[in-house]
Structure 1
Amino acid sequence: MFLKNTWYVACTAAELQEKPLGRQICGERIVFYRALDNKVAAVEDFCPHRGAPLSLGYVCEGKLVCGYHGLEMGCDGKTIAMPGQRVRGFPAIRSFAVVERFGFIWVWPGGVNLSDPGKIPHLDWYDNPEWAYGGGFFYINCDYRLMVDNLMDLTHETYVHSSSIGQKEIDEVPCQTVVEGDLVTTSRHMTNIMAPPFWKMALRGNKLADDIPVDRWQICRFTPPSNVMIEVGVAHAGNGGYDAAPEHKVGSVVVDFITPETETSILYFWGMARKFNPTDAALTDSIREGQRKIFSEDLQMLELQQRNLLAHPDRALLKLNIDAGGVQSRKVLDRLLEEERAAAIALAPGNPS
């Protein structure tokens, strides 16, 4: 169901301060905390003494202290001390590979020895003065693949987001889907149309006219395990569309990190990175609020969709040409899941191979 030997966003760096933070990632209950020198650590959220959640404890001098009886844990999952008790012989709990990078805390829920920080996706916009970023977080009760489907087929914007980014031209212009290795790209380019309300606001934010025709683009890129980056924007018509010079357009990257919690719940980290008027904090706030409202509409739809699917597990769903991005993304996931299962079997103790 989930890829384990890969990186997921567990939280933002700002969420992890003095107190431990408990999160469930791909079915694994994990506690994250800052040890010595502000280094991030992650271990099983399970005290080996009485099974209490360590996330209800606190951090003292770099050690994670259980809030039940004061058992002290190390970053490697080994017990260190406990008031009035000998605990050095306690069996260790599991520790996880964890990295702080690009303003997020990334966790590898699979084998620590297989983790490779070089596989964390690079975010060009992070800490770059040419870009501005604003984002947020939603907890959603749905299968993570439903969110991937949603983001890889933006046709739904016409209906779910009719008052902000939706418009009939999205329905009228077919999308193109390409698969290159593990990368799935679905793109749609619309020409000589009027901008919807959200993009009118963005045009004004870049001191551009919002009442003349524009060319609009949507380029959705899925990379496993469940990350979707979407290049979106509009340019005054006749200036090259996606390739227009900066003075004629507003363009952004919609950032979507989807972290499975369980088979039917996700941690959804969303945001928008823009490369126009980056110093305008009020514009960043307006865009963030606009995105929050848009994704709130997705949340309701996805949770009720999940409820229907659970109630009717045997019903076959239609697959149309607009579903190509989601279908191909699921094929990539299925292939990688099978490869991970095969590798685990090959490494299992007693396997003759």
Structure 2
Amino acid sequence: MFARNAWYVAAMPSEVAEGPLGRTICNESMVFYRGREGQVHALEDFCPHRGAPLSLGRVCDGKLVCGYHGLQMGCEGKTVSMPGQRVQGFPAIRSFPAVERYGFIWVWPGEASQADPARIHHLPWADSEEWAYGGGMYHIQCDYRLMIDNLMDLTHETYVHATSIGQKEIDEVPCTTRVQGEEVITSRTMHGIQAPPFWQMALRSNGLPDGQPVDRWQICHFTPPSHVMIEVGVALAGHGGYDAPPEVKASSIVVDFITPESDTSHWYFWGMARNFKAHDTALTATLREGQGKVFAEDQAVLERQQANLLRWPDRKLLMLNIDSGGVQSRKVLDRFIAAERTMAAVG
């Protein structure tokens, strides 16, 4: 169950380079390609001639050319030409609003007339030279909502990520959850602890000692349809924690765009934006590698969790205090989807 009238991250710009990219978003089979001016377009991945996937074709002079019989498609989904044939009367295939912004390609799988680019999730760090970003993408075989649950409950770090970002203090310090409109915020602050391995490395990278006690914070922000931004960091203890001056802390934003593919699979665009040593490309690569390993551990758990839920669909899951972030996020998401369906019924 997912919203359609919303902007989702569909791809990274590097994925849509010379040739077309086929990708399923919200159960819609799409093909992404660049037109003559380099602008990204998205069409239904279906040739109106014989139904071949257009993503198996090529791009020529800004037109998408089917790899089966050479039919050429325009960016609005209308057939332009085909060798030796008269095809102008072919019905148009569906086109999807697509926008390249903040280093991502976004798509709107719902009603095109409602696709306002101003509603794309604002990423102020993406336009600032004081910030650096490194990330990647995983194709995960589970309901996208399980990933939201996972990210809104970081208690699992103690167990799933024991050798990188997990530590026992996460278990010992309760989290708090609040809802502000369509945003759910879950936070946890730990004082006077030892930094786990990942954050020891981050402290060293910022020229700080890695053996001193630190204050650590995790602040998870969920907004529909499926975006989770997590403020994370450590500061040398006694300097104000989250509000400590930059010279005594290492902090960042964990970026999570979770895009449904089907009812039981999704595309997970992950990354980290940081505002220390922003021009150090080697550090960006090191952090990206470390974070990628962390998220690979989540993937292994979530896919096995999905398999269990499919095997025993009638078993009721237990809810604890630590689940409050995920529970509230699902409530917000349910209201978001219900409002969309109500508007569709009225319209």
Q: TM-score range by the shorter chain?
A: over 0.9
**Structure 1 residue aligned with 2:234:** 234
Q: Which residue of 1 aligns with 2:310?
A: 310
Find the counterpart in structure 1 of residue 45 from structure 2: 45
Q: 2:294 & 2:37 partners in 1: Cα distance?
A: 39
| Structure 1 residue 291 corresponds to structure 2 residue 310 | no
* Aligned position for 1:58: 58
Q: How does 1:48-197 map to 2 (within 5 A)?
A: 48-197=48-197
State whether structure 2 residue 8 is matched by structure 1 residue 8: yes
Q: CA deviation at 1:125?
A: 1.6
TM-score by length of 2: 0.99
Equivalent position of 1:257 in the other structure: 257
**SS where residue 85 of structure 2 aligns?**
coil
Q: Which digits, 9 at most, give the CA deviation of each residue in 1:295-323, with x for residues without a partner?
A: 01000000000000000000000000000
Moved more, 119-128 or 266-275: 119-128
Q: Deviations over 1:55-96 (max 9, x none)?
A: 001111111110000111111111111111111111110000
Contact 1:57 1:67 in 2 (8 A): yes
Contact kept, 8 Å, 1:14 with 1:103, in 2: the verdict is no
CA distance in 1, matches of 2:250, 2:133: 14
Alignment deviations for residues 275-332 of structure 1 (CA, whole Å, 9 cap, x no partner): 1111222211111111011001000000000000000000000000000000000001
- Output one character per residue of 1:98-117: Cα deviation in whole Å (capped at 9) or x when no partner: 00001111000001101000
What is the CA-CA distance between 1:39 and the residue it aligns to?
1.0
- Larger mean Cα displacement after TM superposition, 57-66 or 227-236: 57-66
Gaps of at least 5 residues in structure 2 are none
The aligned amino acid for 2:140 is I
Counterpart CA distance in 2 for 1:250 and 1:107 is 33
Contact 1:40/1:99 (8 A) holds in 2: yes
1:89 aligned counterpart, secondary structure? coil
The normalised TM-score by structure 1 is 0.97
Aligned mates of 1:268, 1:222 — CA distance in 2: 15
Contact 1:11 1:104 in 2 (8 A): yes
Q: Is the 1:32–1:40 contact (alpha carbons within 8 Å) kept by the matching residues of 2?
A: yes
Q: Which amino acid aligns with 1:319?
A: M
Tell me, what secondary structure is at the counterpart of 2:87?
Answer: coil
Cα distance between partner residues in 2 of 1:122 and 1:162: 33
8 Å contact from structure 1 (residues 142, 266) kept in 2: yes
Aligned to 2:346: 346
Please give the alpha-carbon distance, in whole angstroms, between the structure 1 residues aligned to 2:346 and 2:119.
23
SS in 2 for 1:122: coil
Structure 2 counterpart of 1:275: 275
CA distance in 1, matches of 2:24, 2:9: 11
Secondary structure of 1:155's aligned partner: helix
TM-fit CA distance, 1:127 = 4.0
Paired residue secondary structure (1:6): coil
Name segments (4+ residues, structure 1) moved above 2 Å.
Answer: none
Residue of structure 2 in register with 1:26 after alignment: 26
The aligned amino acid for 1:2 is F
Task: Tell me which residue corresponds to 2:223.
Answer: 223
Contact 1:235 1:249 in 2 (8 A): yes
Task: Give distance in 2, aligned partners of 1:345 and 1:138.
Answer: 35
Q: Which runs of 5+ in 1 are unaligned?
A: 348-353
1:9 match: secondary structure: strand
Q: Partner of 1:210 in structure 2?
A: 210
Q: Distance in 1 between matches of 2:155 and 2:241?
A: 20
